Amino acid sequence: MLLAVVTLWLLCSWGFVSPYNGLMADDDSVNLIIRSSLKLQALAFSLKHRRFKTQFHQRTTVYIAINIYNPLAWNVTKYIRIPVSGKAYKIIDYNGNSVDAQIVPLPSPVYKIPGRNSKAQAEVVFEAKLPALGYATYLMRNTTSQSVKYKQASGIEQKTDGDWILNNKFLSVYVDSKSGLLRQLQLADGTNLTVNQSFYWYRGMNGDNSNFDKRASGAYIFRPNGTEPIPLGNNVTVNFVNGSVVQEIHQTFNPWLSQVIRLYKDSENIEFRWIIGPIPIE
């Protein structure tokens, strides 16, 4: 399991907050921990990044240093997502080369997460190359450059006929625009695989806990009434988000259930991320 620690250091106050409920981002494989730390930043930059240091002194622009730590004993590449409120960001790696990035709008259900307190409307997504047992530093700043904005913007489309196709050199992912559900994968060798992925619910058993065989479903007990799950995917609204780094399908099943299906440019995996709740209880 990869634990990537990102230290963001704000040169000036950016009002830079998480899109989700106080958490910056979290993932099965990557943890991003944000904190303002003058010491860490100074340490990082006095070691190796003198070049950036002088840049910091010469310019008055807002820069954020993103340090991403890789505790694995081998090199990895990871896609990093940073919540932002701006429209365009310049990102440079430790060699000073600019890094391809995409501004991906947040799915609308994220705005409705109870307790959410954030100005972020999008995430900057870029590919980070991380050395074995070490960290990489990326620098990020907002920009008004129209060409950067144009390059980083995501296309957002809707349609009601045919398939949405997310594709890269490893995979094509077919999402039926009528049902809004995943229907097929095509592998690099042309093989088609039929896939269904959706959400279902079980009716809970009535129970008043008065007796052992009247146990109610609850936090530690799953006791459905019947074995047939009931599908929730009857009325799925789909948005397709396309860009140079990632392609996404934003599915909204109902007011309390949504999902993002993602395919990154150089990834052999599809990513599914869902938001469930608060679940209505009748």
Ligand X SMILES: *[C@@H]1O[C@H](CO)[C@@H](O)[C@H](O)[C@H]1NC(C)=O
Which residues of the chain form contacts with ligand X (CB under 6 A)? 14, 62, 75, 86, 131, 142-144, 183, 186, 190, 192, 196, 205-206, 225, 235, 237, 242-244
Tell me the three state secondary structure of residue 42. helix
Cβ burial 154-187 (10 Å sphere, 16+ → b, else e): beeeeeeeeebebebeebbbbbbbeebbbbbbee
What is the sign of the dihedral through the CA atoms of 280, 218, 253 and 101?
positive
The answer to whether 115 and 73 are in contact (CB under 8 A) is no
Distance CA 75, CA 106 (A): 29
Residue with tokens 């709740």: 277
Amino acid at 160: T
Specify the residue, 113 or 232, whose C-beta has the smaller distance to ligand X. Answer: 232
Tell me the three state secondary structure of residue 195. strand
Residue nearest to ligand X (CB): 206
Specify the residue, 115 or 280, whose C-beta has the smaller distance to ligand X. Answer: 280
